[in-house]
Amino acid sequence: MSWSSNEIHLANRPTGYPDDDTWSSATVEVPEPGEGELVVKVDYISLDPAMRGWLNDVRSYIPPVQIGEAMRAICTGSVVASRHPDFAVGDTVAGTFGVVEYALSNGTGVYKIDLGVAGAPTWLGALGMTGMTAYFGLHDVGRIKAGETVLVSAAAGAVGSVVAQLAKAEGCRVIGIAGGPGKVAWLKEIGLDDAIDYKNENVLKRLREVAPKGIDVYFDNVGGDILDAALANLRRGARVVICGAVAGYNDEALPPGPKRYMSLLVFRATMTGFVVFDYEDRYPEAVAAISAMIADGRLVARETTLDGGVQAFPEALLGLYAGVNTGKLVLKV
């Protein structure tokens, strides 16, 4: 038996935003698994800002997607055939299967998920790589302490919304930055102390109003002018956590460096980047902590789910950069 899989492949490396020339559609026959392999029917595909970086043929923390390959993506799905000792038909799993309908896997990086704890989209969000990024970036890199002031950019997004709620649970004062009154209102609903609408407010001015004594931790998901505004409002000993810089991911030229980096000297602050894969052996710790918070209501896991299957992926990815989502953005296959 084989399975016919519709897929989205990388056809050309984009300059700027991915367009129709970036992608090609393909139908691939997925064979029966060999010894130590399994076949997964993909149910949901994670849409992540980092996907744009995976398209560039440059040295990074992970090799780029190659021309002609299926687009890399983290997914959830169900096992439909298995000759792997750790997985049985009917198991619900997550892994990097790609923008495909069916995937043949040797089990590397694949793990079982419990739909009794949360739905599949949440296992791509707060209980997936999103949540792992928020948890280890905030605790291990940001080293937050109760009573500190924490600033989060893209705070209504997948990572940012989890960061903000984790910081609140630790007893911090939390300020979120998001785009549009609807997202700002939602941040207030989930308990943030203040929220700044970067589309309609002067971020630098508002930060000085809501954090007159400065910020202790800035969790940066966007870079650009918002990073500069945060650097201008640090407290002594502040920690700046560099998670991402989505504001410049689709720029055709390299963005200018931070204009206010000397604030790191003035305030004896640090600015540290990290990659969540470095914490892989500790993922169960984060899953347990976040699961407990979801169960007792201290953390709201929110997803925006798009329909349309794999063929909708190119448009869905552009929607991610346009900010169509509140919380985690996933595509239903």
**135, 145 contact by CB (below 8 A):** no
Residues 22, 54, single domain; the answer is yes
Per the listing, tokens 């502040």 go with 238
Does residue 286 lie within any of the structural domains?
no
Q: Are residues 71 and 86 in the same domain?
A: yes
Instruction: Note whether 173 and 269 are same-domain residues.
Output: yes
Strands 328-332 and 38-46: antiparallel
46 lies in the same domain as 94: yes
The two three-digit tokens of residue 318, written as one number: 């552009």
Do residues 331 and 28 touch, judged by C-beta distance below 8 A?
Answer: no
Domain match, 140 and 209 both? yes
Residue 141 · residue 276 · CB < 8 Å:
no
Q: Which residues pair with 219 in a beta bridge?
A: 152, 241
What angle (nearest 5°) sits at the alpha carbon of residue 301, between those of residues 53 and 86?
75
Task: Say yes or no: 253 and 133 in one domain.
Answer: yes
pLDDT of residue 250: 84
Neighbouring C-beta atoms of residue 159, cutoff 10 Å: 30
Residue 33 has a pLDDT of 98
pLDDT at site 255: 77
One digit per residue, the tens of pLDDT, for the chain of length 333 reads: 899 999 999 999 999 999 999 999 999 999 999 999 999 999 999 999 999 999 999 888 999 999 999 999 999 999 999 999 999 999 999 999 999 999 999 999 999 999 999 999 999 999 999 999 999 999 999 999 999 999 999 999 999 999 999 999 999 999 999 999 999 999 999 999 999 999 999 999 999 999 999 999 999 999 999 999 999 999 999 999 999 998 778 887 777 789 999 999 999 999 999 999 999 999 999 999 999 999 999 999 999 999 999 999 999 999 999 999 999 999 999
Q: What is the CATH number of the domain that holds 80?
A: 3.90.180.10
Residue 184 confidence (pLDDT): 97
Residues sharing a CB contact under 8 Å with residue 226, sequence separation 6 or more, in sequence order = 153, 177, 198, 203, 220, 247
Whole-angstrom Cα distance, residue 324 to residue 143?
31
Is residue 294 in some structural domain?
A: no
Contact between 5 and 77 under an 8 Å Cβ cutoff? The reply is: no
Same structural domain, 65 and 166: no
Q: Look at the pTM and tell me if it is higher than 0.85.
A: yes
Is the domain of 148 the same as that of 248?
yes
Whether 75 is covered by a domain: the verdict is yes
Instruction: Report the CATH number at residue 138.
Output: 3.40.50.720
- How many domains would you assign to the chain? 2
**Which two tokens mark 313?**
């992926």
Query: Does 283 map to a domain?
Result: no
> Whole domain around residue 141: which residue ranges?
129-277
Same domain (yes/no): 81, 178:
no
Do residues 86 and 211 both lie within one domain? no
Residue 203, CA distances (Å) to 160, 166, 195, 226, 228 in order: 17, 23, 10, 7, 10
Together in a domain, 112 and 145: no
Is 297 within the bounds of a domain? no
Examine residue 82 and state whether it is found in any structural domain, yes or no. yes
287 lies in some domain: no
Q: Does 82 share its domain with 8?
A: yes
Residue with tokens 């925006």: 304
User: Within a domain: residue 289?
Assistant: no
